[in-house]
Amino acid sequence: TDDILKNVVSHAKEYGFVFPSSEIYDGLSAVYDYGQLGSELKNNIKTYWWKSMVQLHENIVGIDSAIFMHPKIWKASGHVDGFNDPMIDNKDSKKRYRADQLIEDKITRYEKDKKLEKAKALQGDLDEAVKSDNLTRLKEIIIEHGIVCPVSGTKNWTDVRQFNLMFSTKMGAMADGSEVVYLRPETAQGIFVNFLNVQKSGRMKIPFGIAQIGKAFRNEVIARQFIMRMREFEQMELQFFVRPGTEMEWYEKWKETRLKWHLALGGDSSKYRFHDHVKPAHYANAAVDIEYEFSFGFKEVEGIHSRTDFDLRQHQEFSGKKMQFFDPEINQNYIPYVIETSIGLDRMFLTVLSNAYHEQDLSTAEKKDQRTVLHFHPALAPVKAAVLPLTKKDGLPEKAREILGDLKFDFNTQYDEKDSIGKRYRRQDAIGTPVCITVDHQTLEDNTVTIRHRDSMEQERVSAKDLSSILQQLTGW
Ligand code: ATP
């Protein structure tokens, strides 16, 4: 099934969705660039998230905090001491792996081989070791299950060590003389340290939320599965501040709300599931992932965490500034509890692309035929409509450009006059354009055009003056 991922990756490159970073220098591991269509798709996903989180909720506002922050923030948040992954090296291949991932891969292999009892037992062992941070036990498990290095095929392993995932760099002369700053590994802290700024300036009352979309950086031990695990990526996060004691209620509510958000895009609901964490991160008392079934298995796309008052309390202690809210309804000061929803934009991008990608057999008795089509939700499609003059002469290109001119401010459109109309339809299918608009000789007479729908491939004749409202209806939110 990894062939499916391979096809998606090469399709993404061929049509300008995603390129390896620095490709002419042979790339940079786990870093990618979004191309002309990829950046459109990414923007549309962000818009969908922002509209549904910020615009539709009166009590949620959005911010855009800086990537660089005071280094004490990462001490307070626990990331300097605790944001680690267990790392192991193979002595023969000199390759480095995440110990827990090697074991997870083994579980997947047991599942594939229908050794379900073994898979379950191993999962139990892994959970136990992870929960207690038992690095010695992780190594023992790797040895007991004969896990080999994917590159060298040998079992010659080093001990397991902790590896901190934060990137650091230097910033000229800071007040206390230190100069090391970190690239943020999550956008959340930018929200926590602005909690009171936003609450006061926006006159927010609990419960309320602060949302943010932005880059995050993690020095992942091993990069894999394309844009699933990157070293530079983007997050869309909500921190929702609630009265202590009500957090579990809100946790459940946000779980449901977020799953609905995914399903509203029209995906197959059996491809989504919740996965509870056995060991929530250091800041959380409950955590669940929303997982999507990729060709390489169910993987986390979004995390929902009950972060308690951990972060605000830590910042109050480290900064010496009160991080409290006065709740007029109960006449009390308190540090709010927090429910976080955190989704990786790049993983969501891969979810959308994987869901959309389809190789469709259109063969008839007479003729073999196939098309690759991206069945994007129309509101996410990078290009909403393509305007195609049937031929390059008789004034058709001019008429087509006139129609294009009326649409292009409101919709991202393409113009294409090269090759047969059939080939042009297929090119648009391959980038997921919901509607093709064909201009022919009849258009010059009665101002009607043919619109051809991506999914059904059906065609209909409509008046050119209705195009804007038709597109609005077909591709709007
Ligand atoms: P994983 O267990 O896969 O490493 P995580 O549990 O560390 O992920 P969180 O810290 O909960 O992830 O981050 C929230 C979201 O950010 C994840 O659900 C994921 O979509 C995204 N994310 C995290 N790390 C990466 C990465 N290296 N590349 C791309 N997206 C990421």
H or E stretch at 290? strand 286-294
Q: Which atom of ligand 1 is nearest to the CA of 230?
A: 28
Of the pLDDT bands very low, low, confident and very high (cuts 50, 70, 90), residue 263 is very high
Model confidence at 172: pLDDT above 90:
no
Please tell me whether 249 is known to bind a ligand.
Answer: no
Question: How confident is the model over 440-463, as a mean pLDDT?
Answer: 98
pLDDT at residue 283, rounded to an integer: 76
* ipTM, interface predicted TM-score of the complex: 0.97
pLDDT at residue 264, rounded to an integer: 95
Model confidence at 192: pLDDT above 70:
yes
Among all chains, which residue has been given the structure tokens 């993983």? 347
Burial class (CB in 10 A: 0-12, 13-18, 19+), 322: exposed
Question: How confident is the model over 192-212, as a mean pLDDT?
Answer: 97
Question: How confident is the model over 171-184, as a mean pLDDT?
Answer: 81
Instruction: Tally the domains of the chain.
Output: 3
Query: Which pLDDT tens digit goes with each residue over 29-75?
Result: 999 999 999 999 999 999 999 999 999 999 999 999 999 999 999 99
Question: How confident is the model over 169-183, as a mean pLDDT?
Answer: 81
Residues 16 and 140 in one domain: no
Q: Is residue 367 part of a domain?
A: no
Of the pLDDT bands very low, low, confident and very high (cuts 50, 70, 90), residue 132 is confident
Please tell me whether 104 is known to bind a ligand.
Answer: no
Residues 216 and 301 in one domain: yes
Residues 52 and 103 in one domain: no
Residue type, 39: S
Model confidence at 106: pLDDT above 80:
yes
pLDDT at residue 293, rounded to an integer: 95
Which residues, including other chains, have CB under 8 Å from residue 239's CB and lie 6 or more apart?
188, 191, 192, 195, 209, 210, 211, 307, 338, 339, 340
Give yes or no for residue 20 CB within 6 A of ligand 1.
no
pLDDT at residue 310, rounded to an integer: 96
Q: Is residue 168 part of a domain?
A: no
Torsion angle, CA of 210/216/218/223, rounded to 10 degrees? Answer: 120
Whole-prediction pTM = 0.92
Of the pLDDT bands very low, low, confident and very high (cuts 50, 70, 90), residue 376 is very high
Model confidence at 175: pLDDT above 80:
no
Model confidence at 338: pLDDT above 60:
yes
Please tell me whether 144 is known to bind a ligand.
Answer: no
Q: Which atom of ligand 1 is nearest to the CA of 345?
A: 20
Model confidence at 448: pLDDT above 80:
yes
DSSP class of residue 465 equals G
Residues 320 and 439 in one domain: no
Residue span of the structural domain in which 194 resides: 2-68+182-353
Give yes or no for residue 218 CB within 6 A of ligand 1.
yes
The enclosing domain of 389 has a CATH number of 3.40.50.800
Q: Are 341 and 388 in contact (CB under 8 A)?
A: no
Give yes or no for residue 347 CB within 6 A of ligand 1.
yes
The enclosing domain of 114 has a CATH number of 3.30.40.230
Q: DSSP alpha helices (H): ranges in 320-389?
A: 345-356
- Percentage of residues in the chain having pLDDT higher than 90: 91
DSSP class of residue 241 equals E
pLDDT at residue 1, rounded to an integer: 53
Q: Is residue 370 part of a domain?
A: no
Model confidence at 177: pLDDT above 90:
no
Give yes or no for residue 184 CB within 6 A of ligand 1.
no
Question: What is the residue with the minimal CA distance to atom 8 of ligand 1?
Answer: 300
The enclosing domain of 41 has a CATH number of 3.30.930.10
The rounded Å distance from CA 80 to ligand 1 centre is: 18
Q: Which atom of ligand 1 is nearest to the CA of 85?
A: 4
Residues 260 and 126 in one domain: no
pLDDT at residue 281, rounded to an integer: 74
The rounded Å distance from CA 233 to ligand 1 centre is: 9
DSSP class of residue 90 equals B
Model confidence at 277: pLDDT above 90:
no
Please tell me whether 410 is known to bind a ligand.
Answer: no
Of the pLDDT bands very low, low, confident and very high (cuts 50, 70, 90), residue 224 is confident
Please tell me whether 343 is known to bind a ligand.
Answer: yes
Residues 236 and 305 in one domain: yes
pLDDT at residue 176, rounded to an integer: 67
Q: Are 53 and 240 in contact (CB under 8 A)?
A: no
Please tell me whether 344 is known to bind a ligand.
Answer: yes
Give yes or no for residue 235 CB within 6 A of ligand 1.
yes
Q: Is residue 171 part of a domain?
A: no
Question: What pairing do the DSSP bridges indicate for beta strands 459-463 and 448-453?
Answer: antiparallel
Residues 124 and 254 in one domain: no
Question: What is the residue with the minimal CA distance to atom 18 of ligand 1?
Answer: 302
Residue to mutate, 221, 342, 351, ligand 1, most ligand atoms under 8 Å from C-beta: 342
Taking alpha carbons only, the member of 405, 404, 408 closest to residue 438 is: 404
Residues 315 and 446 in one domain: no
Residue to mutate, 103, 219, 233, 351, ligand 1, most ligand atoms under 8 Å from C-beta: 233
Q: Is 383 helix (H, G, I), strand (E, B) or coil?
A: coil
Q: Are 371 and 362 in contact (CB under 8 A)?
A: yes
Of the pLDDT bands very low, low, confident and very high (cuts 50, 70, 90), residue 399 is very high
Q: Is residue 319 part of a domain?
A: yes
Q: Is residue 175 part of a domain?
A: no
Give yes or no for residue 339 CB within 6 A of ligand 1.
no
Of the pLDDT bands very low, low, confident and very high (cuts 50, 70, 90), residue 174 is low
Give yes or no for residue 454 CB within 6 A of ligand 1.
no
Model confidence at 228: pLDDT above 90:
yes
Q: Is residue 22 part of a domain?
A: yes
Alpha carbon 159 to its chain centroid, in Å, reads 33
Of the pLDDT bands very low, low, confident and very high (cuts 50, 70, 90), residue 344 is very high
Give yes or no for residue 302 CB within 6 A of ligand 1.
yes
Give yes or no for residue 233 CB within 6 A of ligand 1.
yes
Residues 337 and 222 in one domain: yes
Question: How confident is the model over 360-372, as a mean pLDDT?
Answer: 94
Q: Is residue 249 part of a domain?
A: yes
pLDDT at residue 223, rounded to an integer: 79
Question: How confident is the model over 141-168, as a mean pLDDT?
Answer: 95
Burial class (CB in 10 A: 0-12, 13-18, 19+), 460: exposed
Residues 213 and 347 in one domain: yes
Residues 238 and 324 in one domain: yes
Residues 460 and 411 in one domain: yes
Least confident segment among 171-180, 337-346, 409-418? 171-180
Q: 220: number of CA atoms within 13 Å, CB side?
A: 17
